[in-house]
Structure 1
């Protein structure tokens, strides 16, 4: 994977990492409770789960990607549809305020790095959307003229790094975001903004080719 290609892929992976979801809300909650540094350390658990899911996905993707133009198109449009679906669902999702999320996850973050890592791991490994992400989005970033395994490695490593960045942003901004989404209107505006971004990302992927 060339550096220029990586520069194109990295922003999209960062965008995907920044999307609101269970793990990022967990990082935000941990940031509020124990600070950004401890919240980011806990992301080791999240990335361990994602690494397992990426490995499982990669083992069966190579043959699909190189088999034919048809199957590349199938995977490509599945990815476009998935991002579009996420965008629409995020836009239309119920305006759930932060306090309700905290009631589901527990009112207080548990003490200890290992406990928070385990929490992040369980949230990530139990999210089926992660599998869809790695099987539907990653293939469209591959250059079939280069070794597929190394490209998966670098994309996976980059994705793990962007997860740390996303967690840091959510953890550092926890108190500000909390004030923003304390009201139903604030959460609705956040959902609509992120939903629009995902829909635009689906349009970007729709233009992708194998070349």
Structure 2
């Protein structure tokens, strides 16, 4: 794989990542709900989930999701149900008595946020299908091992996604910090976060192999 192909991939991937997708909306929801630290931990979790899809794509496991309607449906609905669960949990949870500050995730809960974020990304079949549709456009069998090329492109994509998602997390936390400070804004924040989770769940529920 030559450098011109890699740079073309970088430009294409960066263009795609600038547009907020389900993962970005999830990360922003976390940042709004629990602050910048929780948002950045979510970025790490999503990156781990993305790496699982890259590895799966490299060894051909993701192809099963493309050809098996049953496998796709199982992963799709599990992911959708989990996101909707998070949304409903946030929507119906009681707000903290102190509303003058952004509710921060306690340090002992950051690991839980990390695992939740990774699980959400792993259970999103559209990520696997997107990788299978996007990466082959820059892979050439004559350039060497296809799995190695897939892994290389996946690593580049994950690094770019990490940077982009991190910026979105910081931006969301910053905006949230500016609008918080009253019971009304706290309730609004909670509703926005919960609705984001639910919308993401619906998006996953209606995902299909033909709609990447």
TM-score w.r.t. length of structure 1: 0.61
Which residue is equivalent to 2:121?
Answer: 134
Instruction: Please report how far the alpha carbon of residue 126 of structure 1 lies from its aligned counterpart in structure 2 after TM superposition.
Output: 6.1
- Give CA deviations for 1:20-49 in whole Å, capped at 9, x if unaligned: 359951459xxxxxxxxxxx9xx5x87566
Q: Which residue of 2 aligns with 1:16?
A: 26
**Structure 2 counterpart of 1:201:** 200
Unpaired segments ≥5 residues, structure 2: 1-8, 137-149
- After the TM superposition, which of the residue ranges 196-205 and 19-28 deviates more from structure 2? 19-28
Q: Secondary structure at the match of 1:95?
A: coil
Match of 1:80, SS state, is helix
Residues 57-111 of structure 1: CA deviation (Å, up to 9, x unaligned): 6435765432233212211111111111111111112202355946956xxxxxx
Match of 1:123 among 99, 110, 116: 110
Q: Distance in 2 between matches of 1:187 and 1:124?
A: 24
Q: Distance in 2 between matches of 1:103 and 1:9?
A: 27
Q: Distance in 2 between matches of 1:103 and 1:158?
A: 23
Match of 1:111 in 2: none
The secondary structure found in structure 2 opposite 1:83 is helix
What CA distance in whole angstroms lies between the structure 1 residues aligned with 2:77 and 2:102? 35
Q: Which moves more between the two structures, 91-100 or 152-161?
A: 152-161
- SS state of the match for residue 195, structure 1? helix
Report the TM-score when normalising by structure 2.
0.61
**What are structure 1's unaligned runs of at least 5 residues?**
29-39, 106-118
Other-structure match for 2:75 = 75
